[in-house]
C-alpha cells in the first residue's frame, strides 16, 4: 500500500513550507508504508496484553479461533502494538477522534496491569464519554442508513437532524441492536425534531418507499440487516447465488403498506404512515403484486420471507402489519446476527469476514466461518448488546497487534486479493468525520465551543465541503483519503489546517511555543503527542532541531512548520 501526502503546494508561497524538501526528509519516518517504520526503535518496551481475570471468555475464544487460522496458513502474527498505538486506535474507533495529550498521559502513566480493560470500560460505559460515544456511532449509522449527504437535497423528505437525534438517543441509552432495527423497519410518524408525533427512526425509510415500488427500501433493509444483496434480482435471477427474482418480489411485498407524505407547507410535516394495500387487482383481502419475467410473462407475489416463511396475504393493516411481521422475521433470522457481527468486526479490524461485508450466503464463504458463527451466537445471547460486542473485539489479540507486517505474515494482505487472516492490524484511512474531530482535538482551536447545534452546523458545513471536494467520478461519496490532488491541497491549505497551525492565543501551538520552562525537545515531544499520540524519536528530535536552524534559529517558525508537517503526515491521517 503506497500512499503519500508529500508534495509542494503553490498556494503557500511564504512558507512553501519554506524548505519543503528538508521538511519531507525530516519527517520521512512519519510517512510510513505498510506500518509504522522503525516501530521497534520508537518503542523499546514489549507491551503484553492485560492478564486480568476480568477478560471475558469471548475474548479468549476469539483469540483461539483466529490463532487456529494462523496455524492453518503458517502465519506468525506481528508483535503487539505499543500502548501509544493501541490507545490512539481505541479512541478513534470508539469515540471517533484521537486522544488528547492528557488522555494519552493518563493511560501511559497508569501502573494498573488492567489498564487496557479499564480504558475500554471507561470509553464504553462512563458518563464522561457518553455524548462523544453516541455522536460517533450516530454518525456512522446515519451514513449507513441515509448516506453522508442524506437530507441535503432540496426534494428530500429526510431530516438528517431527526435521524441523528434518534440514533444518538439509542446509542446513549445502549439500546439493544434488535430493538433499534425493529424501530427503524416499523417506524411511523414525523421526520423533523419538534414536530408533534416526531419519530426520528422514520428517516431511514421515508425517502425509500414511494419511488420504484419501494425498491430502495427492499435493497437497503436486506443488505443492512441481513447482509443479503437482493437488488440485482429485481429483473432477473441472481447469477451467483440462490436468490431468484421471485424472492425479491416476495420480500418487496412487505413494504407495500407504507407511504411517505410530503408536508404541504414545510418539511416539519413530512411523515411516514402505514396504510392499507389493496393489491394490484384491487382485492385487499388477498393483496397481490405482479412482476414481469424477462420473457414478458407476469407472475404474482405475496409477502414471503427469505427462509420461505409466509404471512397473511391480506393488505389490511389492522389484519396484518407487514412491516411488523418483517421485523420479527428479520431479527429471528440467523443472517441477522451474522450481518451485525460482520459489520462491527469490519469497523474495528478494517475488514469483515466476507467481501463485501454485506454479501453473505453460500456463494461467499467467510474467511473465518467458525469465528463469525461464534460471535453471532454470543451476540444473540448477550441480548444484542452492542457495547459488549465492541469490548470483546477491542480486547482481542488481533486488534492489539502492530500494523507493521513481517516476512512471516506479509502474504496476509487483502489488498492483493487474499482473504484477511488478521495476523497484523490493517492500515486504514480516517473517515472524514474522524479527521475533523481529530484536527479539532490536535489543534485545540475552538473545540467544543458553542452549543451542540452550533458545533454540528460547523462540522456539517466542513463535511459538505469534504464530500464535494472528494467525490468520485462515479458520483459516490468518498469517505477516506486516497491521495488525490484536491485532498492534498485541502490538507495543505484548508481552513482547518490553517487554524490548526495558527499560533494565536488559546491554540495548542501557542501554548507549546510560549512554554518557557520547556526545552526544545520537550516542545517537539508535545507536538508529536498531540498529533501522533506518541513522543518523538531521537532522530526526529534531531531533525526538528535542523528544521529550526533552517529557519535561522526562529523557534516559533520552526515549530509551526513541524506542526504543519505532522498534521499532513500519513501517520496522522491513518488509523494504524
Q: What is the DSSP string of 32-93?
A: -SSS-TTHHHH--S-PPPP--TTS-HHHHHHHHHHHHHHHHTT--PPPBPPHHHHHHHHHHH
Is residue 140 within 8 A of residue 346, CB to CB? The reply is no
Instruction: Using the predicted structure, report yes or no on whether residue 14 has a pLDDT greater than 80.
Output: no
Mean pLDDT of 123-134: 97
Of 204-208, 229-233, 264-268, 446-450, minimum mean pLDDT range: 446-450
Q: DSSP 3-state assignment of 76?
A: coil
CA distance 318 to 275: 9
Mean pLDDT of 473-491: 52
Q: Is 459 exposed, middle or buried (0-12, 13-18, 19+ CB in 10 A)?
A: middle
Is residue 229 within 8 A of residue 358, CB to CB? The reply is yes
| pLDDT tens by residue, 367-378 | 999 999 999 999
Of 60-69, 80-89, 256-265, 335-344, minimum mean pLDDT range: 256-265
Helix (H) / strand (E) element for 428: namely strand 428-429
| pLDDT tens by residue, 384-437 | 999 999 999 999 999 999 999 999 999 999 999 899 999 999 999 898 899 889
Mean pLDDT of 132-138: 97
Mean pLDDT of 512-524: 93
| pLDDT tens by residue, 213-224 | 899 999 999 999
Q: Is 239 exposed, middle or buried (0-12, 13-18, 19+ CB in 10 A)?
A: exposed
Confidence of residue 448 (pLDDT cuts 50, 70, 90): low
In this prediction, residue 244 carries a pLDDT of 74
Cα torsion angle, 66, 69, 71, 76, sign: negative
CA distance 522 to 515: 10
Instruction: Using the predicted structure, report yes or no on whether residue 466 has a pLDDT greater than 70.
Output: no
Per domain, the residue ranges of the chain are 1-34+430-576, 45-125+337-426, 154-331
DSSP symbols for 466-497: HHHHH--TTSPPP-S----HHHHHHHHH-HHH
CA distance 519 to 537: 15
CA separation, residue 324 to residues 193, 225, 320 (Å): 24, 15, 8
Mean pLDDT of 281-295: 89
Instruction: Using the predicted structure, report yes or no on whether residue 497 has a pLDDT greater than 50.
Output: yes
Quickly tell me which residue has 526526529 as its cell.
540
| pLDDT tens by residue, 537-568 | 999 999 899 889 888 889 999 999 899 889 88
Cα torsion angle, 197, 202, 208, 209, sign: negative
Helix (H) / strand (E) element for 143: namely helix 127-146
CA distance 74 to 67: 10
Instruction: Using the predicted structure, report yes or no on whether residue 204 has a pLDDT greater than 80.
Output: yes
In this prediction, residue 494 carries a pLDDT of 66
- The average confidence (pLDDT) of the chain is 84
Quote the pTM value.
0.89
In this prediction, residue 155 carries a pLDDT of 82
Amino acid at each position: 500500500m503506497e500512499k503519500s501526502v508529500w508534495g509542494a503546494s503553490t498556494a503557500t508561497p511564504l512558507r512553501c513550507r519554506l524548505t519543503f524538501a528538508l521538511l519531507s526528509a525530516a519527517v520521512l519516518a512519519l510517512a510510513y508504508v505498510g506500518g509504522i517504520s522503525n516501530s521497534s526503535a520508537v518503542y523499546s518496551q514489549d507491551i503484553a496484553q492485560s492478564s486480568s481475570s476480568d477478560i471475558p471468555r469471548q475474548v479468549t475464544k476469539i483469540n483461539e479461533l483466529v490463532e487456529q487460522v494462523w496455524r492453518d496458513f503458517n502465519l506468525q502474527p506481528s508483535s503487539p502494538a505499543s500502548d501509544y498505538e493501541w490507545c490512539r486506535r481505541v479512541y478513534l474507533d470508539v469515540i471517533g477522534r484521537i486522544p488528547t495529550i492528557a488522555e494519552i498521559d493518563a493511560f501511559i502513566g497508569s501502573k494498573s496491569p488492567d489498564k487496557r480493560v479499564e480504558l475500554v470500560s471507561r470509553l464504553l460505559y462512563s458518563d464522561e464519554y457518553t455524548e462523544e460515544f453516541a455522536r460517533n456511532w450516530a454518525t456512522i449509522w446515519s451514513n449507513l442508513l441515509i448516506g453522508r449527504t442524506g437530507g441535503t437535497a432540496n426534494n428530500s423528505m429526510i431530516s438528517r437532524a431527526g435521524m441523528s437525534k434518534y440514533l444518538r438517543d439509542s446509542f446513549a441509552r445502549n439500546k439493544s441492536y434488535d430493538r433499534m432495527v425493529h424501530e427503524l423497519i416499523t417506524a411511523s410518524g414525523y421526520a423533523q425534531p419538534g414536530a408533534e408525533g416526531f419519530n426520528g427512526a422514520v428517516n431511514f425509510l421515508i425517502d425509500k418507499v414511494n419511488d420504484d415500488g419501494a425498491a430502495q427500501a427492499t435493497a437497503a433493509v436486506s443488505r443492512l440487516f441481513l447482509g443479503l444483496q437482493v437488488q440485482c434480482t429485481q429483473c432477473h435471477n441472481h447469477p451467483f447465488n440462490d436468490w431468484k427474482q421471485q424472492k425479491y418480489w416476495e420480500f418487496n411485498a412487505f413494504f407495500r403498506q407504507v407511504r411517505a407524505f410530503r408536508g404541504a407547507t414545510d418539511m416539519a410535516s413530512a411523515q411516514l404512515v402505514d396504510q392499507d394495500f389493496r393489491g394490484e387487482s384491487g382485492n385487499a383481502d388477498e393483496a397481490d403484486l405482479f412482476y414481469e419475467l424477462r420473457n414478458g410473462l407476469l407472475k404474482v407475489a405475496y409477502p414471503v420471507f427469505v427462509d420461505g416463511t409466509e404471512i397473511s396475504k391480506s393488505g389490511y393493516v389492522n389484519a396484518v402489519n407487514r412491516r411488523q411481521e418483517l421485523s420479527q422475521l428479520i431479527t429471528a433470522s440467523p443472517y441477522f446476527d451474522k450481518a451485525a457481527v460482520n459489520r462491527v468486526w469490519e469497523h474495528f479490524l478494517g475488514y469483515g469476514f466476507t467481501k463485501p461485508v454485506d454479501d453473505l450466503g453460500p456463494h461467499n464463504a467467510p474467511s473465518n466461518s467458525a469465528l463469525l458463527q461464534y460471535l453471532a451466537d454470543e451476540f444473540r445471547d448477550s441480548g444484542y448488546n452492542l457495547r459488549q460486542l465492541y469490548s470483546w473485539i477491542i480486547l482481542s489479540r488481533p486488534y492489539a497487534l502492530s500494523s507493521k507486517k513481517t516476512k512471516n505474515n506479509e502474504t496476509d494482505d487483502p489488498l492483493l486479493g487474499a482473504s484477511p487472516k488478521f495476523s497484523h492490524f490493517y492500515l486504514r484511512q480516517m473517515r472524514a468525520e474522524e479527521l475533523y474531530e481529530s484536527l479539532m482535538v490536535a489543534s485545540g482551536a475552538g473545540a467544543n465551543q458553542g452549543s451542540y447545534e452550533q458545533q454540528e452546523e460547523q462540522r456539517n458545513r466542513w463535511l459538505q465541503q469534504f464530500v464535494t471536494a472528494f467525490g468520485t467520478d462515479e458520483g459516490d461519496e468518498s469517505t477516506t483519503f486516497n491521495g488525490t490532488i484536491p485532498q492534498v491541497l485541502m490538507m495543505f491549505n484548508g481552513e482547518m489546517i490553517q487554524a490548526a497551525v495558527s499560533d494565536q492565543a488559546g491554540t495548542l501551538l501557542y501554548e507549546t511555543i510560549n512554554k518557557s520552562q520547556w526545552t526544545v525537545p520537550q516542545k517537539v515531544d508535545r507536538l508529536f503527542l498531540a498529533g501522533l499520540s506518541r513522543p518523538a524519536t531521537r532522530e526526529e528530535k534531531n531533525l526538528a532541531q535542523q528544521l529550526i536552524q533552517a529557519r535561522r534559529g526562529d523557534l516559533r517558525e520552526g515549530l509551526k512548520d513541524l506542526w504543519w508537517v505532522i498534521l499532513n503526515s500519513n501517520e496522522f491521517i491513518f488509523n494504524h
